[in-house]
């Protein structure tokens, strides 16, 4: 009869876990290097050149949220706000702002199931000397969304959320256009 052998613990389980950790760390490092190599970087906020000077935003509707959002965005971009009576300030003039919602798809009962909301803005930028920096331009952003008649209680809040997102997209698009126009201007 043989004597029972003592069980000697092996270190294979901790080594396997350590190998998996090192492998995951290596894969993460390779992915980060690949992202850096392709030129990817998160978009930062826009910084406008100082030559624009103090700027005021003028809209046909004084209660439009776009005006307040653009004024805050210009401030974040390094452009100081101008007083309403400052005649030497640059003027970002929003000449038209329209919303349009239309059905895109209907079901077998001829009820709309998908909609598209379009937000159009026409704007122009006048420099501090009174000359146009940017002539009037039209921008349009849109969003398609589905409508569920069974869950109609949340739809007004969802539509307002879509409008806020479209305003934010419009604000960013206007600032990018201004940034480009100032960069290419002599």
Query: What gap in Å lies between CA 2 and CA 16, rounded to an integer?
Result: 33
Distances (CA, A) of 2 to 5, 6, 7, 9, 167: 9, 12, 15, 21, 83
173 neighbors 141 (Cβ within 8 angstroms): yes
Query: What gap in Å lies between CA 48 and CA 28, rounded to an integer?
Result: 36
Instruction: Enter the DSSP assignment of 111.
Output: -
Query: Class of 50-184 per CATH?
Result: alpha beta
Q: Per residue of the chain (186 residues), what is the pLDDT tens digit? A: 566 665 555 556 677 788 888 899 898 888 887 777 776 655 556 666 667 788 899 998 888 899 999 999 888 888 888 888 888 888 999 999 999 999 888 888 887 888 899 999 999 999 888 889 899 999 999 998 887 766 665 577 888 899 999 999 999 999 999 888 888 776
Q: What are the boundaries of each domain within the chain?
A: 13-42, 50-184
Q: Whole-model pTM? A: 0.71
Contacts of 142 (CB under 8 A, 6+ apart): 116, 117, 118, 119, 166
**Residue 96 CA, distance from chain mean position:** 21
DSSP assignment of 16-81, as one string?
Answer: HHHHHHHHHHHHHHHHHHHHHHTT----------GGG-SEEEE-SSTT-HHHHHHHHHHHHTT--B
Tokens of 129: 């000397």
User: How confident is the model over 73-124, as pLDDT tens digits?
Assistant: 888 888 888 888 888 888 999 999 999 999 888 888 887 888 899 999 999 9
């Amino acid at each position: 009869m043989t004597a029972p052998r003592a069980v000697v613990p092996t270190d294979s389980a901790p080594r396997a876990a350590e190998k998996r950790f090192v492998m995951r760390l290596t894969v993460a490092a390779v992915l980060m290097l690949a992202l850096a190599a392709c030129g990817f970087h998160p978009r930062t906020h826009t910084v406008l050149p100082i030559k624009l000077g103090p700027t005021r935003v003028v809209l046909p509707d004084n209660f439009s949220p776009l005006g307040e959002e653009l004024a805050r965005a210009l401030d974040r971009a390094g452009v100081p706000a101008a007083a309403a009576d400052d005649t030497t300030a640059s003027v970002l003039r929003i000449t038209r702002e329209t919303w349009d919602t239309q059905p895109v798809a209907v079901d077998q009962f001829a009820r709309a199931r998908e909609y598209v909301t379009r937000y159009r803005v026409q704007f122009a930028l006048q420099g501090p000397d009174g000359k146009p920096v940017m002539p009037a331009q039209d921008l349009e952003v849109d969003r398609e969304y589905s409508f569920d008649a069974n869950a109609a209680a949340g739809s007004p809040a969802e539509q307002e959320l879509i409008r806020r997102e479209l305003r934010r997209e419009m604000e960013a698009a206007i600032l990018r256009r201004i940034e480009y126009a100032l960069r290419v201007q002599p």
